[in-house]
Chain A
Amino acid sequence: NAGVTQTPKFQVLKTGQSMTLQCAQDMNHEYMSWYRQDPGMGLRLIHYSVGAGITDQGEVPNGYNVSRSTTEDFPLRLLSAAPSQTSVYFCASSRDRANTEAFFGQGTRLTVV
């Protein structure tokens, strides 16, 4: 059982480049989300989705786009990378019920130079 799979694990981008971070889950979870983790700031929510075709913004959405065409996949697009987007990115999925936990991917370490 793969759980939540993120690719790539590491990425270096030049300022202004665009890229897509991939996230897939095989647990048929309705709820998926993207976080960034920065030192001393914990996890901050970028975007989330409660089902295919439905997405919404989190705490720090600027500079990022998402889409949810299937239940399994929730890619995160960086439109024009900036050094401030250097971070570790985590995708998570869960059932859409308040008493259930989130399952996390292994993370993508992104450096923008």
Chain B
Amino acid sequence: GNSVTQMEGPVTLSEEAFLTINCTYTATGYPSLFWYVQYPGEGLQLLLKATKADDKGSNKGFEATYRKETTSFHLEKGSVQVSDSAVYFCALRSTGNQFYFGTGTSLTVIP
């Protein structure tokens, strides 16, 4: 079956620290992979995506690489800001077109 497992939070970092949020997946076929961000009181917004193995998605200083050999799609950012405080969701879209989401990782960045 299809599933996404992501690092449990909450994660608290100081401003300018390096961020990694781990995400691994199980899927049949060749899924597309996504990171979404949710700010308080809002819906999920697409942060970045990768649609095939070895693709790197990037946006707003965040990056993630689609690693088929390790079935992973870890989110990284070199220097976090207070404004990055949010909940981050890893997701996959299977060849059956359904989405599968991880449980979310809450990030708090302190000045």
Q: Which A positions have Cβ atoms within 8 angstroms of B?
A: 4, 31, 33, 35, 40-43, 45, 48, 50, 58, 90, 92, 94, 96-107
CB distance B97 to A50 under 8 Å? yes
Q: CB-CB contacts of B43-64 with A at 8 A, as 1s and 0s?
A: 1111001010000000000000
Q: Which residues of B contact A42 (CB under 8 A)?
A: 89, 101-104
Please give the distance in Å from B105's CB to the nearest CB on chain A: 10
B95 within 8 A of A: yes
Count the A-B residue pairs with Cβ separation under 8 angstroms: how many? 56
Q: Which B positions have Cβ atoms within 8 angstroms of A?
A: 31-32, 34, 36, 41-46, 49, 51, 89, 93-95, 97-99, 101-104
CB distance B42 to A98 under 8 Å? no
Residue among A42, A96, A97, A99 with most chain B CB within 10 A: A42
CB distance B93 to A99 under 8 Å? yes
CB distance A43 to B89 under 8 Å? yes
Q: Which residues of A contact B42 (CB under 8 A)?
A: 106-107
Please give the distance in Å from B94's CB to the nearest CB on chain A: 7
| Known interface pairs A42-B89, A104-B43; 19 further A-B residue pairs with C-beta atoms within 8 A, sorted by A's residue number | A31-B97, A40-B103, A43-B44, A45-B99, A50-B97, A90-B43, A90-B44, A98-B94, A98-B97, A99-B32, A99-B51, A100-B32, A101-B49, A101-B93, A102-B44, A102-B99, A103-B46, A104-B45, A107-B41
CB distance A101 to B34 under 8 Å? yes
Q: Which residues of B contact A48 (CB under 8 A)?
A: 98
Q: Which residues of A contact B31 (CB under 8 A)?
A: 98
Q: Which residues of A contact B99 (CB under 8 A)?
A: 33, 45, 92, 94, 102
Q: Which residues of A contact B34 (CB under 8 A)?
A: 101
Q: Which residue of A lies closest to B51 (CB)?
A: A99
Q: Which residues of B contact A107 (CB under 8 A)?
A: 41-43
CB distance A43 to B101 under 8 Å? yes
